[in-house]
Amino acid sequence: MKPRTRRLLTVLAASAAASILWALATPIGGIELVVDQAGTRQTVGPAAVVLASLAIGFAAWGLLAVLEKATTRGGRIWTIIASAVLAVSLLGPISAVTAAATLVLMGMHVVVGGSLIAGLARR
């Protein structure tokens, strides 16, 4: 399989995995994914999950492509950056209204980040 095809499938799979986790938690599990952002409560819906995961996936792929062209250790540098971004992203779900929502949102971050890290940098 060509690297471009594999990377596209990785981004799509990461988004699909997050969507499946959303479906298991929300309509099936009954967990309301509500976050408090500056005093405004927002529900995390399926469109937000898909759009956010695709956006970060394509941004990650773009950064990887730039680093691979700019340096001989692009994949290694990208993996370090991606791991740091994943760690920082786990602070976002802390704004969830319930503990269950926090855990589900953290799980989504880990699923997307882990999938991208494992799938994009692999040669």
Q: What is the domain count for the chain?
A: 1
pLDDT at 37: 86
What range does the domain containing 105 cover? 3-120
Mean pLDDT, range 85-98, rounded to an integer:
94
Please check the confidence at residue 14 and state whether its pLDDT lies above 80: yes
Mean pLDDT, range 5-30, rounded to an integer:
96
Interatomic CA distance for residues 16 and 18, integer angstroms: 5
Interatomic CA distance for residues 74 and 92, integer angstroms: 27
Are 47 and 26 contacting, i.e. CB atoms less than 8 angstroms apart? no
Please check the confidence at residue 122 and state whether its pLDDT lies above 80: no
pLDDT at 121: 85
- Quote the distance between the C-alpha of residue 4 and its chain's center: 19
DSSP string, 10-74: HHHHHHHHHHHHHHIIIIIT----EEEETTEEEE--HHHHHHHHHHHHHHHHHHHHHHHHH-TTH
Confidence of residue 15 (pLDDT cuts 50, 70, 90): very high
Mean pLDDT, range 96-114, rounded to an integer:
96
User: Percent of the chain at pLDDT above 70?
Assistant: 99
Confidence of residue 4 (pLDDT cuts 50, 70, 90): very high
**Site of tokens 């309301």:** 32
Return the CA Rg of the chain: 15
